[in-house]
């Protein structure tokens, strides 16, 4: 009897996070429903209308094309951010003068509000797909760059001494030790950057008014006062962030971190 009770208690304990998550979702949906009642359908769509509109979006070829286009831009911007952050972070980690050289530009990128940077991009370089991706890369770059600098400087000194003692060529040292160590330390930042990039890129799409993409679809929905559609795109954006983070976490856990101790 005692064992049975203990087993059930343990099962219940394991299920608790799920219970709290469902409770949170229900509470959020209820609050949303109440807000829709208070403000009316013109300002706030109900959860049911939003869901219905989201389903409609995914059966509409132009909406699917807009989603695919934005997703492609997000992945491109994220890839460029990782490459640039890693490359410049490694350089700045090795050579303090490079860090000093980058300091003013990075400080400005961190301090300037994203909207201001997107507007700057339109004024200086004009509106276009490349400019939107460039703006998203510039906005996400400091996060990955800063993480890479810290990561390079915290590579295990013992491992580095081992590489020197065995006279491992410099290029191999870089590829076999520095890049993996930095990349693994950067994983939390990369996950954070993925979510940030979706938000920044769609914001840049809206501001720049680039052809095709979620940003343009949002702008059009706003013009047509299609509140449910705006809410549906917001839902799609949240789902996209969760999807990218989920896929990346899965890839990281199943492939990249295969070398970590089993828990």
Partner 1 sequence: MIEFNGVTKSFGKRTILDSVSLKVEEKQILAILGPSGIGKTTVLRMAAGTVKPDAGQVRSDRQRIGFIFQEPRLLPWRTALGNVTLVLQGRGLTRDEQVGRAGAILKRLGLQGFEHYYPAHLSGGMRQRVAIARAFVLDPDLALLDEPFTGLDIGLKLSLQQMLLELLAWHPCAMIYVTHEPQDAVLLADRAIVLEGKPGKIMASMDFDRPRGERDQSYIQEQAAKLTAVLTAKKSPVGG
Among 124, 167, 254, 255, binds partner 1 (CB under 8 A): 167
Return the residue matching tokens 């797909």: 129
| Count of beta carbons in the 10 Å neighbourhood of residue 241 | 17
The nearer residue to partner 1, 94 or 184, going by C-beta atoms, is 184
The distance of closest approach from Cβ of residue 82 to partner 1 in the complex, given in angstroms and rounded to an integer, is 17
User: If binding is defined by CB under 8 A, does position 254 make contact with partner 1?
Assistant: no
Footprint of partner 1 on 172-201 (CB under 8 A)? 172, 176-177, 180, 184
Among 84, 168, 174, 243, binds partner 1 (CB under 8 A): 168
Among 4, 97, 123, 259, binds partner 1 (CB under 8 A): 259
Joined together, the tokens standing for residue 253 give 């856990």
User: If binding is defined by CB under 8 A, does position 255 make contact with partner 1?
Assistant: no
The nearer residue to partner 1, 173 or 219, going by C-beta atoms, is 173
- 165-185 burial string, b = 16+ CB within 10 Å, else e? eeeeeeeebeeebbbebbeeb
Among 130, 164, 224, 253, binds partner 1 (CB under 8 A): 164
User: If binding is defined by CB under 8 A, does position 165 make contact with partner 1?
Assistant: yes
- The residue range among 53-61, 121-129, 164-172, 229-237 that interacts with partner 1, by the rule CB under 8 A, is 164-172
The distance of closest approach from Cβ of residue 80 to partner 1 in the complex, given in angstroms and rounded to an integer, is 24
- 17-41 burial string, b = 16+ CB within 10 Å, else e? eeeeeeeeeeeeeeebeeebeeeee
If we measure between CA atoms, which residue out of 119, 139, 116, 236 comes closest to residue 196? 139
User: If binding is defined by CB under 8 A, does position 260 make contact with partner 1?
Assistant: yes
User: If binding is defined by CB under 8 A, does position 154 make contact with partner 1?
Assistant: no
User: If binding is defined by CB under 8 A, does position 155 make contact with partner 1?
Assistant: no
Footprint of partner 1 on 59-98 (CB under 8 A)? none
The nearer residue to partner 1, 98 or 187, going by C-beta atoms, is 187
The nearer residue to partner 1, 12 or 175, going by C-beta atoms, is 175
For 137: left if phi > 0, alpha if psi spans -120 to 50, otherwise beta; the answer is alpha
Distance in angstroms (rounded) separating the CA atoms of residues 153 and 156: 9
- 101-134 burial string, b = 16+ CB within 10 Å, else e? ebeeebeebeeeebeebbeebbeeeebebebbbb
| CA 199 from centroid of its chain's CA atoms | 8
Distance in angstroms (rounded) separating the CA atoms of residues 230 and 45: 9
**Chain residues in the site for partner 1 (CB under 8 A):** 158-159, 161-162, 164-169, 172, 176-177, 180, 184, 258-262
């Amino acid at each position: 009897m005692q064992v049975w009770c203990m087993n059930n208690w343990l099962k219940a304990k394991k299920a608790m996070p799920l219970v709290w998550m469902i409770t949170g979702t229900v509470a959020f949906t209820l609050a949303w429903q109440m807000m829709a009642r208070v403000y009316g359908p013109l300002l706030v769509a109900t959860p049911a209308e939003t869901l219905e509109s989201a389903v409609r979006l995914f059966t509409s070829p132009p909406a699917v094309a807009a989603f695919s286009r934005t997703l492609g831009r997000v992945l491109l911007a994220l890839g460029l951010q990782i490459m640039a952050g890693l490359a410049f972070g490694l350089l700045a980690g090795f050579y303090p003068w490079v860090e000093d050289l980058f300091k003013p530009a990075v400080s400005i990128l961190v301090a300037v509000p994203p909207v201001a940077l997107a507007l700057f991009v339109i004024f200086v370089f004009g509106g276009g797909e490349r400019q939107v991706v460039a703006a998203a890369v510039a906005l996400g770059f400091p996060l990955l760059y800063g993480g890479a600098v810290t990561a390079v400087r915290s590579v295990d000194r013992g491992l580095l001494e081992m590489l020197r003692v065995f006279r491992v060529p410099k290029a191999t040292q870089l590829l076999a030790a520095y890049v993996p160590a930095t990349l693994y330390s950067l994983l939390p930042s990369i996950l954070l950057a993925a979510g940030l990039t979706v938000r920044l890129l769609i914001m840049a799409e809206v501001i720049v008014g680039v052809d095709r993409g979620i940003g343009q679809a949002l702008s059009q929905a706003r013009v047509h006062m299609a509140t449910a559609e705006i809410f549906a795109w917001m839902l799609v954006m949240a789902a996209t962030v969760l999807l990218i983070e989920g896929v990346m976490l899965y890839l990281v856990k199943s492939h990249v971190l295969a070398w970590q101790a089993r828990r």
